[in-house]
Amino acid sequence: MSDAAPPPPPQPTTTPDEARVGTVGVDASDATPLRNVGSEFFATVLLMLAGPGLIVLGEGRIDTLAVAFSFGAALAIAIGVIGAVANPALSLALLVVREITIREAVEDWVGQFAGGIVGGALIWGINDQTRAGIGSTGWDVGAFSELGSVIAAELVFTIVLVVVFLSTISRGLGTTAIAAYTAGAYMIGHLVLLGISGGGMNPARSLGSAIFSDTDPNALGQVIVFIVVPLVAAVAAVFVWLAIDDANVDDTLFDETFVDRLGDRIDGTPD
């Protein structure tokens, strides 16, 4: 009888997508469409209740610091406990840096925008089915902020938010740290933006609030800015992140292969 040790069992092989770890430490292959949509939906409803809900339902009794803290706490819970980001701009950034697939990004957006709308409806219902005059995003409120300054502020603070978020992931921090640092950046942004635009940085939050608001100027008529600008900022933030991180452009959708294929399609060159 041989004393030789048995050969080690074969090691499982994984594809890059199967090995990819998302923002909350969950293998991407374990995430089902229902889980993606459901977690983002629930987390965005929570964010709506914690942010616009606090503003509307606590009118006259809540200061800016409390609202900013509530926004940040809700995002920390979303990332650290629910496993969601509750923000289409953050999902877009994850897509650009190849942390999630296009399918997962679309599932995120479905859950986030649905959560924003349902969250806005819940606030409207709790508020005795009265459309609120506060809690939405916009400009020229009280002739204080013009469109240009609002766009600039939204760009700057959304870029800061996304850069912090991506940096915590690239450094391999744990879920709790990712949640805490990202929530901190979100709080800082709201401390400034609440007095300028009502606090944006999140297309789903802005749309959900605008649908159920009654403001002058009309928030729903201005909401396109608060949808487009954070998404543009999310893409711009990836390049800022690349400049300060060890990652390179080949780790993103803007690698040479992607650019070459896009150029071929524009020129009509077959693959």
pLDDT tens per residue across span 201-246:
999 999 999 999 999 889 999 999 999 999 999 999 999 999 999 8
Q: Which residues contact 222 (CB under 8 A, 6 or more apart)?
A: 137, 138, 139, 210
Query: Rounded CA gap, 188 and 157, in Å?
Result: 8
Q: Is the pLDDT of residue 63 over 60?
A: yes
Q: Cα–Cα distance between 225 and 203 in angstroms, integer?
A: 9
In a domain, 66, yes or no: yes
Q: 153-164: per-residue pLDDT in tens?
A: 999 999 999 999
Is the Cα dihedral 180, 183, 188, 189 positive or negative?
positive
Return the structure tokens found at 82. Answer: 């629910």
Q: Any idea what the Cα angle at residue 163 is, between residues 233 and 103, rounded to 5°?
A: 70
Is residue 9 in a domain? no
For the chain, give the longest Cα–Cα distance.
91
- Mean pLDDT computed over 5-30: 44
- pLDDT over threshold 50, residue 19: no
Give the mean pLDDT of 126-141: 88
The structure tokens listed for 200 are 């944006």
Residue 127 belongs to a domain: yes
Task: Count up the domains in the chain and report the number.
Answer: 1
Instruction: Judge whether 16 lies within some domain.
Output: no
Q: Categorize the per-residue pLDDT at 250 as very low, low, confident or very high, splitting at 50, 70 and 90.
A: confident
- Report, as an integer, the average pLDDT of 39-66: 94
What is the average pLDDT across 52-66?
A: 91
pLDDT band with cut points at 50, 70 and 90 for residue 20: very low
* Residue 264 counted as domain residue: no
- Spell out the long-range contacts of 246-254 with Cβ–Cβ below 8 A and sequence spacing 24 or more: 246/170, 247/97, 247/170, 251/97, 251/98, 252/96, 252/97, 252/98, 253/95, 253/96, 253/97, 253/98, 254/96
Residues of the chain above pLDDT 70, percent: 81
213 within 8 A of 219, measured Cβ to Cβ: yes
CATH of the domain at 168: 1.20.1080.10
Inside any domain, residue 258: no
Residue range of the domain that includes 152:
25-252
Q: Is residue 111 part of a domain?
A: yes
Any domain includes 11: no
